[in-house]
Structure 1
């Protein structure tokens, strides 16, 4: 219903309540005007005394039985106490006396939705759109958008917002909402056209420029998106969401210095946020400025202490600098928060392997393959670690398991071959090498990298030469 602000001071209310109670008790000949009843109804409604307000409404209808407005008020109160069927009955009466009251349609919609009849609510509002104009029509379109949202017809939500903006291009509520629904429905092209039309008549609407940029960004047209966001912040230099999205667009274009500049602007105009510091850290990381990246990741981590990913990212900056001990400290922090994340265990395994702590490395790599048994990367790390620590029999068993779980990925054949050669099982090793060559010759480098001296083995050289020759003939 339209808001009906309470009208009345305390003295007036007290007087009206006394008159009402006298009227109810029949203590003296007292009479209340319809407006007085309405003031009392509003008063108790605002105090959430719905049953008292409903009692007063029923009494008022005894004196003014042809008042459409009182029936609407009755229905509003019945909706508030969840008596939806009775509310619909009251609205039938209201419609008979006051059929062009928009509150009737809005309350009917509320009742239908509460009774899980969203399509009936939608049909009612669609009919009402043919009756009402101006602000009333806008109210109905917003109601209809909510109904479509309720039964998940999301394209129609978008359509309602378009109709609102066609009627009132500067409507801020619709401009805010259509940005979300454009992204949700993927109707970026339509949004671009709509906002271009709005901008023609309202060139200083920062929301229209922002929505235009967001739609371009949805189509991965990042340069155009940035241009639109720049217009938005030229109109409103405190428009932090435009800076945020602009920063994201610059990151997509790998223009990290530009991204840092606009993301730092966000920090100047809003309270500190972990996601902004993390994004700035990411940019410095990509630029190879690991100390600056760490500085911003740490800022983010101080705000969001429970985010294990930030500890992991700090560790990665140390890994890039080959500072294994320092990386381990932050990976331990990350694993304390989330111990089974494969990426964390993989990084920890790589760090302790660099420190020649093979036993712990095997433990961490085993955690990775346990979490992602079909992922070749984890198996490569585990088998390579076992190979380097000369646990050849264990490496052979892991290769056999890996071949089953990865459904014979070619990289595993190469690793298996290298392990078999190291274990002195040349015949089986050559068979696995050939299997790998048949599936993916390009991955032979992984085999050679494990033991470059293997190229001194004449059988290996002959097999590689024979395979290359057969490929040339084909």
Structure 2
């Protein structure tokens, strides 16, 4: 993990650093009796480590330790280099020596933790940290708690990650890193009620902490308490009007509540203050879609696709918006764009089949509808679209044969019984058709509209109208 290895205090091109490095080179070559103090060795080690010149950094560490054998800092620096070189046991041995000289150096325990994790000995890493956490105060204690959370994350003990982050925030309830992390882990572990209590306590002490308000909002949102979530996000935004994630989450909450104009408003604000993102444009498009404002929906879906040109789902959404307006030709163009990136989508094949069907191109329609059922043979919706395509195209015998050959798990669904009744009517087998229709009505009278939508001309049969009327009357009585 090597959380915060000290960085050299000089810029790479500074004269001071150049002089220091030259002195080190002279010392290595035996050309000078220049004296380098302990701090200088630290800076030299850090410099070469940052430059990925591990061998030279090792040399500097060795020379420094030879000159300052009781320097815990230099021993710890060398241990860090050994960890980078995957010499974990040697590093731990060196850290034990350093601990005898100075047990108060935070980096000592972080490096021990790194070594144990690298050796897949997470329990030992936890023990090292737990034994030392209460020995430190302030930021150092927070640092060790955050390190402990990382250990549990690496160990995949995810509930413990949440527990330790909560400990960190009880100790230091204004810590940004802990606040950022616990937001994710609250959602991951589903511990929303605990997060609400924790962040309510933080807000009571620090009412202008926008991250605490945001985390409170996400916890409410996790419990589907969208109005309370929105209230919390609004407080976060009142404190920091450019808090883009608060606008994003608030937009999602409004969408969940089906308050689409409000969602559009806050998501548009997000676009004003943050870098444009495809997901934001897509969400705004979705809001217009739900309001049946298809021109605006397509505009935002296209904006999203400009940022993510290989996202086939965006072309599909544009197509759906065209299909809602029965603009089959333009829908087909968008679907063909989607198919360039995903030919194996049953949904795209079904939608193309529907467009061709509506355009009267029955042969093309059946090719795509058949593709859809081949791609997803256990999908009832795909078979329904294919049967409908065969029926509209006039292939009634073929449709009946396909229905009879279908897996019973699919063909036994009421919608297929309605379809079978319609097919039998078209084939002149009226008695069988009426029996089939009655069975379907007994099982699911609400799906009778599927029968009528398939072929409204069937209502010309008096017997059909009478049967449908009887079942509608019985449904009204039940209500």
TM-based fold match above 0.5: yes
Check if 1:138 corresponds to 2:146: no
Could you tell me how far 1:453 is from its partner in structure 2?
5.5
**Map of 1:359 onto structure 2:** 363
Alignment partners' CA distance in 2, 1:91 and 1:266: 49
The counterpart of 2:412, out of the listed 408, 427, 441, is 408
SS at match of 2:276: coil
Q: 1:127 aligns with which of 107, 127, 131?
A: 131
Does the alignment pair 1:191 with 2:201?
A: no
Q: CA 1:470 to 1:305, structure 2 compared with 1: closer, same or farther past 3 Å? A: closer
Which residue number in structure 1 is paired with residue 239 of structure 2? 235
Change beyond 3 A, Cα 1:393–1:17: same
CA distance in 2, matches of 1:396, 1:72: 80
Per-residue deviation, residues 410-449 of structure 1 (Å, max 9, x unmatched): 2212212221232233454455445434543443443344
Aligned-partner Cα distance in 1 for 2:474–2:168: 69
Shift, 1:184, TM fit: 0.9
Aligned mates of 2:348, 2:199 — CA distance in 1: 44
Cα 1:200–1:403 change in 2 (3 A) is same
- For residues 19-418 of structure 1, the aligned pairs below 5 Å read 19-22=27-30, 33-404=37-408, 406=410, 408-418=412-422
Q: Structure 1 CA distance, aligned partners of 2:36 and 2:446? A: 94
Q: 1:40 to 1:334 in 2, by over 3 A?
A: closer
Give the conservation status (yes or no) of the 8 Å contact 2:73–2:98: yes
Provide the C-alpha distance between the structure 2 equivalents of 1:354 and 1:271, rounded to a whole number of angstroms: 41
2:361 and 2:335 map into 1 onto residues whose CA distance is 16
Aligned partner of 2:23 in structure 1 is: 15
Q: How does 1:416-431 map to 2 (within 5 A)?
A: 416-426=420-430, 428-430=432-434
3-state secondary structure, aligned to 1:406 = helix
Change (3 A) 1:456 1:53: closer
| Other-structure match for 1:3 | 5
1:121-141 per-residue CA deviation (whole Å, 9 max, x = no partner) reads 112211111322222211111
Going from structure 1 to structure 2, the CA distance change for 1:423 and 1:129 (only over 3 Å counts) comes to same
Are 2:71 and 2:101, in contact at CA under 8 Å, matched by a contact in 1?
A: yes
Deviations 1:218-252 (A, max 9, x none): 11111111111111111111111111111111111
Q: Structure 1 residues 282 and 460 mapped into 2: Cα distance closer, same or farther (>3 Å)?
A: closer
Deviations 1:191-211 (A, max 9, x none): 111111111121111111111
Question: Partners of 2:332 and 2:121 in 1: how far apart?
Answer: 58
Report if the CA contact (8 A) 2:445-2:471 is conserved: no
Structure 1 stretches lacking a partner, 5+ long: none
1:8-63 CA-partner distances (Å, limit 9, x unpaired): 532233224323542xxxx8877655445444433433333222232333344344
2: CA distance, partners of 1:307 / 1:458: 50
In structure 2, runs of 5+ residues without a counterpart are: 10-15
If the length of structure 2 is used for normalisation, what is the TM-score? 0.89
Aligned to 1:446: 450
Q: 1:283 to 1:18 in 2, by over 3 A?
A: same
Shift of 1:470: 11
Give the whole-Å Cα distance in 1 for the aligned partners of 2:6 and 2:333. 61
- SS for the counterpart of 1:9 is helix
1:264, CA displacement in angstroms?
Answer: 0.9
What is the deviation of 1:214? 1.0
What is the CA–CA distance in structure 1 between the aligned matches of 2:136 and 2:66, rounded to whole Å?
31
Which sits farther off after the overlay, 129-138 or 428-437? 428-437
Measure the CA separation in 2 of the matches of 1:29 and 1:321. Answer: 86
- Deviates further, 138-147 or 276-285: 276-285
Deviations 1:84-134 (A, max 9, x none): 111011112112222332222111100011111112211221111132222
Bigger Cα displacement from structure 2, 56-65 vs 71-80: 56-65
Contact 1:217 1:225 in 2 (8 A): yes
